Structure 1
Amino acid sequence: MDLIAALRTFLRVAEVGSFSAVAEERGVTQPAVSRQVSALEEHFGTRLVQRSTHAVTLTEEGRELVPAAQQLVDSADALQETTGRRRSKAVGRVRLSVPVPLGLYFSSRLDALLKKHEELSIDLILHDRLRDLIEEGIDLQLCVGEINDSALISRRVGATTAFLVAAPNYLKGRAVPEQPADLQEHDCIVYHRWGRDDVWWFASPEGAVSVSVRGRFRANNSEAVRRAALNGHGIALLSHLLVADDISAGRLRALMPAFPPARFPLTVVYPSRRNLPPRVRAVIEFLSEIIRADPAMREDADARAASHTEVYGQD
C-alpha cells in the first residue's frame, strides 16, 4: 500500500463524505477508492469510516486521524517540492577541493557564481595533495596531473602554466641558469606534494627535459614556497597564478625562457556521473569557464606561447 496516496484519498473522502464523488474527481471506480480506505483501516487496525447507502461519515478514530494525516501529507508535498527544486536548480552546498593557487584565484571570482545561483553555497577546501573524496565528503575536486583512479569520473578542463623564478637578491653574484642542467648548481626551493618533487620537467625543441634539483628549503604549500623565493632563499617553480604579479613588479625574475616548465592537465574529478546534482554541475561549468577565460590555462600551445611572450618580452 502507498500510505501517502491512501491518506490523500482518506482526507478527501472525509472532506466530501462520498466514495463516489472522490472516484469521479480522480477518474477511478468507486470500489477503488473504497479499497484504499479499507487498506488504511487494516493498516491501523481500526475502523475509520461508517459506510451507508447515502453517505460516508468518520468514526471517532477517523476524526482523530485527520490532523496527523494532513500533517504527513503536507510534509510529503513539501519534500517533493524541495526535491523537485533541487533536481532543476543549483540548490545546496558544494564541497570543492582545489590546489592552493587555484583556490586563491577562484575565491576572488566566486561572486559571479553565487549571484547566478542564489540558493547555492560553496565550501572551498584548499589542498596541496589529493584528498579522499568519499571519506571527506567532497563533491568535486580540481586536480593537477593525470588521474588514474578508475573509481572517479574525470573531466579535463585546462592545463597549468608555471614559471621558474628567483628574487634579484638571490641572483646577485650568481650565474643565471640558462638550461635545466644549470639548476644543479643552485639552491632550489622544492614544492613538496607528489613524491618526486625534486625532479623538475621542462619543454625544449627536442622534447621534455628533466633535472634533479636540490636545496636547503622545501615546503608542502605553494604560498610558503613563493614567500621563500621572494626572500631570496633560492629558485622556485610556481604557478603563474602565484607569481605573475611578482614578475611584473620586478620582485621575482622569470628564468630560462628557452626551456619553459612542462605543463600538466587540470582535471575535475567527482565520485559518480549518476544523478549528478545541478549544484555540482553548476560548479563544474563555472570552473571550466574561469579556466578557459585565462589564456595561460588553455590547453592550446598558442596560449602558452602568448603568456610567456608577455612575461619575458620576447617574440
Structure 2
Amino acid sequence: MDLLHALTTFTRIVETGSFSAVARESNIGHSAVTRLIGQLESHFGVRLFHRTTRRLSLTQDGQDLLGLARHMIEVADEITATMSRQQGKPTGLVRVAMPVGATRLLVPRLREFLEYHPGLSVEVLVSDRVENLIEARIDLALRVGAVNDASLVTRNIGTFGRVAVAAPSYLERHGAPATPADLINHSCILPDLGPESGHWTFDGPDGRVRVAVSGALIANSTEVIRHAALAGYGIALLTELQVVDDIRLRRLQRVLPEYPIERYQVSIVYPSRRHLALRTRAVIDFLVEQFRTIESRLAEERVLGEISAAWLV
C-alpha cells in the first residue's frame, strides 16, 4: 500500500463527504476506494469511519488521523516544492479557478507562458461562483470584490470598472437612456444576485444614484449576459475586461458613459501554506503581470476618452 496515496484519499473522502465523489475525481471504481480505506484501517488497526446508508462520519481514531494525515501531505508537498526550487523549474499541475469573464483575456495568453514552462500544466476551472478551494482541490483562484475568508491568502492585483452597454440594434429600436432614471423604460439583462438583481448603482454629478431596473432575462453567468447583450436583448452591466473587444469592434456601445459605475477589486487567493509550490508561484506571478499590463492599458484608454482593444488582437 502506498501510504501517502492512501492518506490523501482518506482526506479527500473527509473533505467531499463521499467515497463516490473521490472515486469519480480519481477515475477509479468505488470498490477500489473502499478497498484502499480498508487497507488503511488494517494498517493502523483502527476503524476510521462510521458508515450508514445516509451518513458518513469520522470515528475518534479517524479524527486523530485526519490532522496527522494533512500534516504528512503538507510535508510531502513542501519536499516537492523544495526540490523543484532547487532545480529552478516549475513542474506539475496547477488548478486555477476564475470567473467566466476573465477567460477571454487570460486563456489566449497562457500559451506563451506554458511554452516557456514545458513541465507545467494549468487546469482552468470556470465559474462565477465562489468555490471552496480546499474541498475542490483548487490551488488558486481569481476573485472579484471583497474576500472575507481569513483562511485564504489574498493578493490584490488590480482595480477595474464596469460599464453599461447595449447592442446597436437595441439602441436603434429603443434609443439610449440619458440618465440612470431612464432605465425604468428599458429592458435590462439582470445577473442572478437575489434581491440586488433589480437595482443598479451609478455615480453622477449629484452623487450616487441607485435605480430599479427590470427585464425579461436573468442569468447566473456574465458570459450569458454578454451574449444576450450582443443579441440585442437589452442593456447590461459588464466588466471592462469582458467588453473591451466588443466596444472597439462596435458590437456593443457604451450607455450612460457620464455616470461611472463603482469599481471593483480583483484578487488572487490561495490556501495558506508556509511554503508555496514553485509551480503555483509561477502561475501567480504570470497572473499578476498580465493584470498589471491590462490595468495600465485600460487606464490609458480611459484618459483618451474611449476604450480600445487593438492591443488585445
| Category of TM-score, reference length = shorter chain | 0.5 to 0.7
2:257 paired with 1:251: no
Deviation at 1:169, TM superposition (A): 2.0
The answer for the alignment partner of 1:131 in structure 2 is: 131
**Contact 2:81-2:276 at 8 Å conserved across structures:** no
2:101 paired with 1:101: yes
Deviation at 1:293, TM superposition (A): 0.7
Deviation at 1:138, TM superposition (A): 0.4
The answer for the alignment partner of 1:306 in structure 2 is: 303
Q: Secondary structure at the match of 2:215?
A: coil
* Worse-superposed segment, 201-210 or 156-165: 201-210
- Residue deviations 1:258-301 (CA, integer Å, cap 9, x gap): 11222100011111142111111111111010011113687xxx
Note the 1:158-307 alignment, pairs <5 A. 158-192=158-192, 196-295=196-295, 303=300, 305-306=302-303
Tell which structure's C-alpha radius of gyration is larger: 1
Distance of 2:194 and 2:294 partners within structure 1: 25
Distance of 1:136 and 1:80 partners within structure 2: 20
Note the 1:7-156 alignment, pairs <5 A. 84-88=82-86, 89-156=89-156
The answer for the alignment partner of 2:66 in structure 1 is: none
* Worse-superposed segment, 165-174 or 118-127: 165-174
Segments of structure 1 that go 5 or more residues without pairing to the other structure are 1-78
Distance of 2:175 and 2:125 partners within structure 1: 40
Deviation at 1:252, TM superposition (A): 1.6
- Residue deviations 1:152-188 (CA, integer Å, cap 9, x gap): 1101000223221111221224241122222122110
**Contact 1:160-1:297 at 8 Å conserved across structures:** no
Deviation at 1:82, TM superposition (A): 5.9
Q: Secondary structure at the match of 2:210?
A: strand
Q: Secondary structure at the match of 2:138?
A: coil
Q: Secondary structure at the match of 2:182?
A: helix
**Contact 2:84-2:91 at 8 Å conserved across structures:** yes
Distance of 1:255 and 1:296 partners within structure 2: 23
Aligned sequence identity (%): 40
Deviation at 1:210, TM superposition (A): 2.6
Question: How does the TM-score come out when normalised to structure 1?
Answer: 0.66
Question: How does the TM-score come out when normalised to structure 2?
Answer: 0.66
Could you tell me which amino acid in structure 2 is paired with residue 116 of structure 1? Y
**Contact 1:296-1:307 at 8 Å conserved across structures:** no
Distance of 1:209 and 1:277 partners within structure 2: 46
C-alpha distance 260-170 of structure 1, shift in aligned 2 (>3 A): same
Distance of 2:127 and 2:116 partners within structure 1: 26
**Contact 1:90-1:278 at 8 Å conserved across structures:** yes
C-alpha distance 210-86 of structure 1, shift in aligned 2 (>3 A): farther
C-alpha distance 269-174 of structure 1, shift in aligned 2 (>3 A): same
C-alpha distance 296-168 of structure 1, shift in aligned 2 (>3 A): farther
C-alpha distance 204-307 of structure 1, shift in aligned 2 (>3 A): farther
Deviation at 1:305, TM superposition (A): 3.0
* Worse-superposed segment, 190-199 or 125-134: 190-199
Distance of 1:269 and 1:81 partners within structure 2: 22
Paired residues in the alignment total 230
